[in-house]
Amino acid sequence: MRRFVIGSARSLIERSRQNYQFQRPLLSSSYRLLSSTPAVDSPSSSSSTMAPPVALNTINPKVIECEYAVRGEIVTLAQKLQEEINTKPDAHPFEEILYCNIGNPQSLGQHPITFFREVLALCDHPTILDKSETQGLFSADSIERAWKILDQIPGRATGAYSHSQGIKGLRDTIAAGIEARDGFPADPNDIFLTDGASPAVHMMMQLLIRSEKDGILCPIPQYPLYSASIALHGGTLVPYYLDEATGWGLEVSQLKKQLETSRSMGITVRALVVINPGNPTGQVLAEENQKAIVEFCKQEGLVLLADEVYQENVYVPEKKFHSFKKVSRSMGYGEKDLSLVSFQSVSKGYYGECGKRGGYMEVTGFGADVREQIYKVASVNLCSNISGQILASLVMSPPKVGDESYESYSAERDGILSSLARRAKTLEDAFNKLEGVTCNKAEGAMYLFPRIDLPEKAIKAAEAEKKAPDAYYCQRLLTATGIVVVPGSGFGQVPGTWHFRCTILPQEEKIPAIVTRLTDFHKSFMDEFRG
Amino acid sequence: MGLKALDYETLNENVKKVQYAVRGELYLRASELQKEGKKIIFTNVGNPHALGQKPLTFPRQVVALCQAPFLLDDPNVGLLFPADAIARAKHYLSLTSGGLGAYSDSRGIPGVRKEVAEFIERRDGYPSDPELIFLTDGASKGVMQILNCIIRGEGDGILVPVPQYPLYSATISLLGGSLVPYYLEETANWGLDVNNLRESVAQARFKGITVRAMVIINPGNPTGQCLSEANLREIINFCYQENLVLLGDEVYQQNIYQDERPFISARKVLMDMGPPVSKEVQLVSFHTVSKGYWGECGQRGGYFEMTNLPPQTVDEIYKIASIALSPNVPAQIFMGLMVNPLKPGDISYEQFVRESQGILESLRRRARIMTDGFNSCKNVVCNFTEGAMYSFPQIRLPPKAIEAAKQAGKVPDVFYCLKLLEATGISTVPGSGFGQKEGVFHLRTTILPAEEDMPAIMSSFKKFNDEFMDQYEDNWNRSRM
């Protein structure tokens, strides 16, 4: 298995060197399928016979290359079916489309945390803070927190561009929150507030990637922001495989092997991406594992890019989230030993505030000259949205025991987290009951990533339609049940294996119906294609 | 001791090349002085709320209600919020797919894009397709996305006005493209001469550069000029002949301070010109909630509208937008409110008009005060701020001052601006940050300081400037004797 994995990894690196391809010989035309018939982009009757400046054959090829399956082809089809149901309710054998493709909790009925929204509303419209009626509509501690935050904003102007790293007072709050979480100090000057974690990832890729000779180690399967960003910035993705047989385990020996292989091919590996808890795989790393990873990065001179956006989504009692910052500091490693960038977001956890676009990166272990460059790049966009900045500070310093809102806040939080844990288990069990399907436990994050053993007949049917087998399965699932999931090829998988990613986010009362529909579909699919 | 992972030497060269003076050396020095206790007047960024401009009441009411929808269920909500704000909040919430906390469509909420399309149609008299309108986290993000599509390498050139807003130069650097400058004529009120364009393109092509696009900033930044209809027609014809995509940065379209040249959108002129031009010239137009009289910079709300781009290209741009998942939802609501404002008869209409007119009329007055103020200073010549938010006076530095700058290891206008900052606390951006003709120096300030503070600021500037000029001219005169 290991030899197979390394052999295929080698060929993957080779392919990615030429023209980043990601196990998609059948998907290469997927985006052409998305658009209307591939007509030639020729100007009609203009005097110039040149192609118009912004035509498919003249736009940046890196744009064409990069892919993002989470909102890719399957979603476009889902939207089309949705429109058909809207006009003709019995057009399909289901009443509604269930979007299980994207970690977007509030679009599926999850409620926001009341305290956070109170504070944000008051900061959006501070005029009402002076009115007596406000006391009756808002909790006292939300009013207090809003005042505190507004006092940290020059002129209390929430509509002004802030410092390009984000409002200082909010960064102080976040740094204090990091310290409370980890037991090790954090410097507000290390924090860059961004419009979600994704722009921060892009910024780091931009800094790190000089050419296709620069490689970034990424887990397979991975959240395709990384593959897309690397492609956009012209670098090379160096895959390391997580081991499905051991609960998506991360072996440092695999990291070493992939590193050596890529170096022997002339790639300078610059950074290691670790997603913890994992997406799409959901595993929570054991502390010993994390120590080995830190050691590896230190020895090899790699920047550790720690995507920790699911840090509050841990569902199993035997695992706990430890930030890489905490782990490295507990090993006695400081600024001089390890370059570490930690990403956090307001989109996940129990707060699920995707639409706000709030997040930050904490940047440690870089020289002042590099940090200046990071600041400079951040400044071109001036700053991230203020409301998102405020929310990031609230997420990192929520109500405490004794605060007026603490009880309602913790009830909301615990309600959401325990429900997520239940849904994770229910869906995991449901998938494991399906013929030819095995599903690892979701220890954390928001997804299940079951593996399906597709019969040969199904694979042939997929090929006939010029689709990857897992994309074919997902499309059939969608058209039969209205359930939208993302094919595993969108995340990467060991060649010859097939998966799909399904979120655990539909409301609990909908889960039984989803399980039934899915089970029935799968049975009839297997009946159709069983050898 | 392990290898260093990310040294300055191993950074992406394109990053190192980037310059963005608006938050560069002068701003950093001003921030330092502020920390030391000096009173600083920040006029380096078009950031109205930071200088005391109040947000418009109605949009803030609506968005606050959208943030906390449980308020809408409270029987006492009417004590704090007017009925039309409540209705509008319900309207926008109904357009979202789960409130403010859910990722929207990667192109933005369809209902809001429809409102943008309707706004464009009302403004220009031509229908606009919501499918070709993408909302973004600020117009800057939109500019970066489009330039990222166009620039393949350093062989690709983008025509950019000089002086320009350095988002363009910075982004072109980051993307590894080539900036092809075309000079605006200061003596002709920063006018655009098509002959300058032709020359710039010819020079670029001679160097082997493929010129792909032309940026116009209308009204201009930092220059403030408003393009005439004739000028816009010339530009569009030029793009048609030279096969360029036109990028129309129109973020200041609501900031017009004279009546001779009202704002006309590039799209309107394009459509007016009829086929084949109207069907073939590719155009991307940009707008924002950060400027105008809204000044909601901190929300990061903007959009771009695409005209005559092939469907497959639009799909690719959509794909890139989807990687960022969605623009922030509160700002999308601000955008909806901006393009779909209150009407006569609405409860909050009068207050809204009062607030808006107040801001616009004051900006117009401040544009005049500042221009006149600069023109009263020794060796300073300043074109009138026809639009946008800036004043860009030319500072005629005496040779001795230039020499002193050289001694200090500074570019002459940086030298002047640093001295101005230290003497008066006025934080500006040196003209070199925007580009200018060789040997001609400027600085950019905003017209945003509060009206009541303006006279004091201008007299403080005049005092510094005239003393500076006396100091360096005296030396010069003496040396001539």
Q: Alpha-carbon distance A322 to A308, whole Å?
A: 9
Of A59, A128, A225, which has the smallest distance from its Cβ to B316's Cβ?
Answer: A59
Residues 6+ apart with CB under 8 A from A93: A480, A481
The pLDDT of residue A50 is 67
pLDDT band of A21, cuts 50, 70, 90: very low
Beta carbons of B322 and A229 less than 8 Å apart: no
The pLDDT of residue A363 is 97
A318 CA to chain B: closest CA distance, Å? 31
**Chain B residues lying within 8 Å of A353, measured CB to CB:** 100-101
Secondary structure string (H, E, C) spanning B363-400: HHHHHHHHHHHHHCCCCEECCCCCECCEECCEECCCHH
Beta carbons of A198 and B96 less than 8 Å apart: no
The answer on pLDDT for A462 being more than 80 is: yes
Angle of helix B454-480 relative to helix B349-375, nearest 10 degrees? 20
Beta carbons of B313 and A380 less than 8 Å apart: no
List, as ranges, residues 226-285 from A with C-beta within 8 Å of B.
228-229, 232, 270-271
State how beta strands A303-307 and A268-275 pair: parallel
pLDDT digits (tens, 9 = 90+) for A421-435: 999 999 999 999 999
Beta carbons of A196 and B2 less than 8 Å apart: no
Does the beta carbon of A82 lie under 8 angstroms from any beta carbon of chain B? no
B165 CA to chain A: closest CA distance, Å? 11
pLDDT along chain B (481 residues), means of 10: 71 89 89 93 94 97 97 93 97 96 96 98 98 97 95 96 95 95 94 93 97 97 96 97 97 97 97 97 98 97 97 92 93 98 97 98 97 97 97 97 96 97 96 95 96 96 97 66 42
B298 CA to chain A: closest CA distance, Å? 4
The answer on pLDDT for A48 being more than 80 is: no
**3-class secondary structure, B438:** coil
- Cα nearest neighbour of B15 on chain A: A207
pLDDT band of A179, cuts 50, 70, 90: very high
pLDDT digits (tens, 9 = 90+) for B88-126: 999 999 999 999 999 999 999 999 999 999 999 999 999
- Torsion angle of alpha carbons B165, B168, B173, B174, nearest 10°? 110
Mean pLDDT within A9-17:
39
Kindly report the number of other CB atoms within 10 A of residue B153's CB atom.
13
- Cα nearest neighbour of B102 on chain A: A355
- Cα nearest neighbour of B315 on chain A: A35
Q: Of B7, B15, B51, B304, which to mutate for an interface test with A (greatest number of A Cβ within 10 Å)?
A: B15
Beta carbons of B63 and A339 less than 8 Å apart: no
Of A124, A357, A365, which has the smallest distance from its Cβ to B137's Cβ?
Answer: A357
Residues 6+ apart with CB under 8 A from A415: none
The pLDDT of residue A13 is 41
Q: Of B167, B201, B325, B355, which to mutate for an interface test with A (greatest number of A Cβ within 10 Å)?
A: B325
How many residues can be counted in chain A?
531
Beta carbons of B325 and A353 less than 8 Å apart: no
Beta carbons of B298 and A52 less than 8 Å apart: no
Does the beta carbon of A55 lie under 8 angstroms from any beta carbon of chain B? yes
Q: Alpha-carbon distance B245 to A54, whole Å?
A: 7
pLDDT digits (tens, 9 = 90+) for B332-353: 999 999 999 999 999 999 999 9
> What is the share, in percent, of chain A residues with pLDDT greater than 90?
84
Q: Alpha-carbon distance A63 to A54, whole Å?
A: 12
pLDDT band of A32, cuts 50, 70, 90: very low
Whether the CB-CB separation of B106 and B319 falls below 8 Å is answered with: no
pLDDT band of A49, cuts 50, 70, 90: low
The pLDDT of residue A22 is 31
Task: Tell me which residue has tokens 């009946």.
Answer: A527
Beta carbons of A355 and B104 less than 8 Å apart: yes
Of A58, A133, A379, which has the smallest distance from its Cβ to B80's Cβ?
Answer: A133
Task: Give the residue among A87, A28, A33, A38 at the shortest CA–CA distance from A475.
Answer: A33
Beta carbons of B15 and A124 less than 8 Å apart: no
A40 CA to chain B: closest CA distance, Å? 10
Q: Of A60, A170, A373, which to mutate for an interface test with B (greatest number of B Cβ within 10 Å)?
A: A60
B297 CA to chain A: closest CA distance, Å? 5
Task: Tell me which residue has tokens 């007017």.
Answer: B82
The pLDDT of residue B366 is 97
Beta carbons of A71 and B151 less than 8 Å apart: no
Beta carbons of A195 and B70 less than 8 Å apart: no
Does the beta carbon of A410 lie under 8 angstroms from any beta carbon of chain B? no
Beta carbons of B47 and A161 less than 8 Å apart: yes
pLDDT band of A56, cuts 50, 70, 90: confident
Whether the CB-CB separation of B168 and B143 falls below 8 Å is answered with: yes
State how beta strands B210-217 and B245-249 pair: parallel
Beta carbons of A207 and B330 less than 8 Å apart: no
Mean pLDDT of chain B: 95
Quick one: DSSP state of residue A510? G
List, as ranges, residues 108-137 from A with C-beta within 8 Å of B.
108-109, 112, 114, 117-118, 120-122, 124-125, 127-128, 131, 133-134, 136-137
pLDDT band of A73, cuts 50, 70, 90: confident
pLDDT digits (tens, 9 = 90+) for A198-243: 999 999 999 999 999 999 999 999 999 999 999 999 999 999 999 9
Quick one: which H or E segment has residue B136? strand B133-136
Whether the CB-CB separation of A238 and A22 falls below 8 Å is answered with: no
ipTM of predicted complex: 0.95
Beta carbons of A70 and B11 less than 8 Å apart: no
Beta carbons of B7 and A300 less than 8 Å apart: no
Does the beta carbon of A31 lie under 8 angstroms from any beta carbon of chain B? yes
Beta carbons of B64 and A367 less than 8 Å apart: no
Beta carbons of B74 and A137 less than 8 Å apart: yes
Quick one: DSSP state of residue A273? E
Whole-model pTM over 0.95: no
The pLDDT of residue B24 is 84
The pLDDT of residue B326 is 95
Beta carbons of B74 and A117 less than 8 Å apart: no
Tokens matching residue B29: 């020095």
